[in-house]
Amino acid sequence: MASPKGVSDADVEKWLKEGDRVQWFRAEAEMYRWLEESEIKLAELLRCIQYFAKMANIWTQLADSSIDNPGKQAYARRTAAQFSELSSTARSQLDKAGYPHIHDLDGLIHYLQGRRNELKDAINKAATGDLPHEEECDSEKDGKDGSEAL
């Protein structure tokens, strides 16, 4: 690369390297923001599932305690069924999204800690340049290594 007049190649290289470093840290910060958002969404979905299940239980108890009033009992049973259906649907969507192993907030914490550790390892490998060679990445994309392309 030709350097501007009066600027050495070493200075240009230093300037380019500094630009790459700035871009690296900006990209890393953005990645962590997206990671945080995805973690928040998972926690919110789990709380919804728990809330729906709890409300189904509460309405079932109300129905059981309203045996002297069939109208109240029918309303409570219908409401309990609605909350139960919401809980089942949300759970099914969480499973379909690839998280069937997460059943409660403790399970979510365990999963997220593992995911963060894997991410830190990947970032360290990328920072040290310990990444697969370009040919290996191309063969993985093509599915030549026996796995499906993402």
Phi, psi of 104 (to 5 degrees): -150, 180
State the sign of the Cα–Cα–Cα–Cα dihedral 110, 103, 61, 59.
positive
Does residue 43 belong to any structural domain of this protein? yes
CA-to-CA distance for 116 and 38, rounded, in angstroms?
Answer: 12
Alpha helices in the chain (DSSP H): 9-65, 70-96, 105-128, 134-142
Domain count, the chain: 1
Could you tell me the two tokens for 144?
């030549």
The CA distances from residue 9 to 20, 22, 23, in Å, are: 16, 20, 21
pLDDT at 128: 82
Give residue 50's domain range: 39-128
Does residue 57 belong to any structural domain of this protein? yes
pLDDT at 67: 87
State the sign of the Cα–Cα–Cα–Cα dihedral 86, 88, 89, 94.
positive
pLDDT at 138: 54
CA-to-CA distance for 24 and 45, rounded, in angstroms?
Answer: 32
Does residue 67 belong to any structural domain of this protein? yes
Does residue 2 belong to any structural domain of this protein? no
Could you tell me the two tokens for 53?
């299940």
Does residue 123 belong to any structural domain of this protein? yes
Does residue 26 belong to any structural domain of this protein? no
**Would you write out the chain's pLDDT as a tens digit for each of its 150 residues?**
566 777 888 888 888 888 888 898 898 899 899 999 999 999 999 999 999 999 999 999 999 998 899 999 999 999 999 999 999 999 999 999 999 999 988 999 999 999 999 988 988 888 787 766 555 555 554 544 444 433
Does residue 99 belong to any structural domain of this protein? yes
State the sign of the Cα–Cα–Cα–Cα dihedral 15, 128, 137, 95.
negative
- Taken as a whole, the chain contains a residue count of 150
Residue 51 near residue 105 (C-beta atoms within 8 A): no
The closest alpha carbon to 105, from 34, 39, 52, 56, belongs to: 39
Does residue 12 belong to any structural domain of this protein? no
pLDDT at 134: 56
**Stated pTM of the model:** 0.68
Q: State pLDDT tens for residues 66-100.
A: 889 999 999 999 999 999 999 999 999 999 999 99
